[in-house]
Amino acid sequence: MARIIYTLHDHLNESLKDPVFKKEWEASEVEYQVSRQIISERLRQHMTQKELAKKVNTTQAVISRIEHMTENVSMELLKRIATAFGTRVKVQFE
């Protein structure tokens, strides 16, 4: 008997057919990209959340909430994070 595999990608594609879900999904895209970039750069620099928090004068819990998209990051904190990474913030509209 053949098995049918329903992937997360399949589920997302199906869910995106719902206009309410699609609107919410698209609304969270910016937060997702910010979170992904912070995590990626932090790991690239072999830095823990606690180490990053110390460099930007905040707590590890705040960094965790930003990375898990349960807290919005202010532009000021985003600039401090970029400075801690030795980078800069770049905003791009598409």
Q: How confident is the model at residue 11 (pLDDT cuts 50, 70, 90)?
A: confident
For residue range 28-39, what is the model confidence (pLDDT) as tens digits? 888 999 999 999
Q: What are the sequence ranges of the domains in the chain?
A: 48-94
Cα 20 to Cα 8, 16, 76, 91: the distances in Å are 19, 9, 32, 27
Question: pTM for this one?
Answer: 0.78
Angular region, 86: left φ>0, alpha ψ -120 to 50, beta rest: left
Using the structure block, give the residue that is written with the tokens 């997702």: 32
Number of H helices, E strands in the chain: 6, 0
For residue range 54-93, what is the model confidence (pLDDT) as tens digits? 999 999 999 999 999 999 899 999 999 999 999 999 988 8
Q: How far apart are CA 66 and CA 22, in angstroms?
A: 22
